[in-house]
Amino acid sequence: MTASVHGPARAATGTPRARRALVAGSVGNFIEWYEFGVYGYFATVIAANFFTPQGDGEVEALVKTYASFALAFFFRPVGAAVFGHVGDRIGRRPTLILVVLLMTGATTLIGLLPTYATLGAAAPWLLTFLRVLQGLSAGGEFGGAVSVMTEFAPEGRRGLYGSWQSFTVALGLLGGAGMAALLATVLTPAQLDAWGWRLPFLLTLPMGLGALWLRLRLEETPAFRRTGEEPAASTSTSTSTSTSASASARETAGAIVLGAGRLMGWSAAGYTFLVVMPSYLQSTLNATFQQALIATVLANLGFAAAIIPAGALSDRTGRRTVMVAGAVLAAVLAFPLLNVLQDPAVPTLVKALAVLAAGAVVGLMAGPGPAMLAEMFPTRVRYTGLGLAYALSNAVFSGCAGLVITEAVERTGDIDVPAYYVAGICAISALALLTLRGDDHRSALRD
């Protein structure tokens, strides 16, 4: 089921075009994850502004905030299906332009939204609606960006090129954390609660306009153009074509489920260590907002540092080797890493190294992940297939992470809940990753 390498089309994929595709594909990911990071880092502030009417406690408000967070993730598969279908039919370029416009508009409007104190019960509903729009656009972003990056990638470098999708996720989370840390430093708590939290969302507008300009200059991928050049099937073969299409649909659905299983460890560990950690440290371990953000910045630095080397290594040793190593390490180290953070007697330097290590372990899964998914689907369904696999995995295991962990800690009183969550899911993910073929990285993408 491996397509041959198309010489002329491969030759046409020159370095300048590939680099432009890399930048245009990456910039939307940065904005998407910058916003999702900001929402997670400011979860306690957003809870106070939108989900705390009289009589509600802080934990209940935080649970509601994470419920809104999770809802956006559950609309990602819808966005992946809708925009993926469009992207596989009319092209990657126009679809990615539409996606970045929707994400930029929704995020900017969150920064302008009246709070519960001003608007009453309508405020959390409007916030949730905007989160739904973000979920739809985010669902359409991943499949298109990874398709562009990997379809333009030079031969033997798909892991490296695809890893830039994950790297810009790290940069987006770091950008969000850095902005939150900066505001927490220069503003008083009262100023931050009153209006300071709006600034990171409003900053999305100029970033989105820059992303739009880059994507308007993007060319369509050679792989997608080849699908438009294929001759249509004759009417005499309509029955066999229908049977073949049905079998192909079943194969695609199976690949989507398998792809989600292979990604579930990345999703669970990534959001637990990189996004949920600030609220966990504050609500469970009584850390200050600034301390929690510093820990998260360190985790994201470890994450960012490991991604591109992991993607490049997977071009040499295979996706399976690198990703299984990441999933197994995350499962094995989840409890020791968390216990280091929980112990007040552990030196600060050791805690810093622990969160750096946690981020780096996630990076081992995130670096090769995009290329691994791209290699699972043919061009005609690649945007939809890999987008849905990623969105489903994130909806279940990322979007629910904050909600599940916060609620479980509150109900059980067990502060090791995050470690149980990460270790269990990563163990299952490692089993799914073992089904990868060791030589998939050496084959051409399927047409």
Residue with tokens 């959001």: 271
- Taking CA atoms, 100 is separated from 78, 104, 139, 220, 351, in Å, by 16, 6, 11, 17, 37
Percent of the chain's residues with pLDDT above 90: 43
Give Cα 178 to chain centroid, integer Å.
18
> Given pLDDT bands bounded at 50, 70 and 90, which one contains residue 288?
confident
Per-residue model confidence (pLDDT) at position 233 = 46
DSSP 446: P
Residue 229, in any domain of the structure: no
Mean pLDDT of the chain: 84
Choose the weakest-confidence range: 60-74, 260-274, 341-355. Answer: 60-74
Mean pLDDT, range 418-436, rounded to an integer: 95
Which of 31, 219, 262, 253 is closest to 137 using CA atoms? Answer: 31
pLDDT at 418 over 50: yes
Token reading at 360: 């780096």
Residue 186, in any domain of the structure: yes
What is the tally of helices (H) and strands (E) in the chain? 22, 0
CA pair distance 54, 63, nearest whole angstrom: 16
Which residues, 6+ apart, have CB-to-CB distance to 431 below 8 Å?
Answer: none
Per-residue model confidence (pLDDT) at position 175 = 87
Which of 30, 74, 44, 32 is closest to 399 using CA atoms? Answer: 74
Mean pLDDT, range 245-263, rounded to an integer: 88
Per the structure, how many domains does the chain have?
Answer: 1
Which of 78, 211, 207 is closest to 143 using CA atoms? Answer: 78
pLDDT at 131 over 80: yes
Indicate which CATH number applies to the domain containing 405. 1.20.1250.20
Which residues, 6+ apart, have CB-to-CB distance to 438 below 8 Å?
Answer: 318, 320, 321
Q: Which residue has the higher pLDDT, 409 or 425?
A: 425
CA pair distance 398, 416, nearest whole angstrom: 18
Per-residue model confidence (pLDDT) at position 122 = 87
Residue with tokens 């780096």: 360
Residue 122, in any domain of the structure: yes
CA pair distance 220, 21, nearest whole angstrom: 9
**pLDDT, tens digit, for every residue of 171-202?**
887 888 788 878 888 988 889 888 998 999 99
Per-residue model confidence (pLDDT) at position 235 = 45
Residue 403, classified by CB atoms within 10 Å of its CB into exposed (0-12), middle (13-18) or buried (19+), is buried
Choose the weakest-confidence range: 39-43, 310-314, 329-333. Answer: 39-43
Domain limits at 383?
A: 7-222+250-442
Does residue 167 contact residue 300 with C-beta atoms inside 8 Å? Answer: no
pTM of the model: 0.82
Choose the weakest-confidence range: 89-103, 228-242, 400-414. Answer: 228-242
pLDDT at 410 over 90: no
> Given pLDDT bands bounded at 50, 70 and 90, which one contains residue 64?
low
pLDDT at 242 over 70: no
Q: Which residue has the higher pLDDT, 185 or 261?
A: 261
Choose the weakest-confidence range: 14-18, 111-115, 193-197, 355-359. Answer: 14-18
Per-residue model confidence (pLDDT) at position 309 = 97
Mean pLDDT, range 281-298, rounded to an integer: 77
Residue 239, in any domain of the structure: no
Residue 231, in any domain of the structure: no
- Taking CA atoms, 313 is separated from 37, 301, 366, 436, in Å, by 27, 19, 12, 16
> Given pLDDT bands bounded at 50, 70 and 90, which one contains residue 207?
very high
Residue 230, in any domain of the structure: no
pLDDT at 144 over 80: yes
pLDDT at 11 over 70: no
Mean pLDDT, range 301-308, rounded to an integer: 94
Per-residue model confidence (pLDDT) at position 2 = 40
Residue 100, in any domain of the structure: yes
> Given pLDDT bands bounded at 50, 70 and 90, which one contains residue 20?
confident
Mean pLDDT, range 278-294, rounded to an integer: 75
Helix axes 158-186, 122-152, angle to 10 degrees: 150
Residue 386, in any domain of the structure: yes
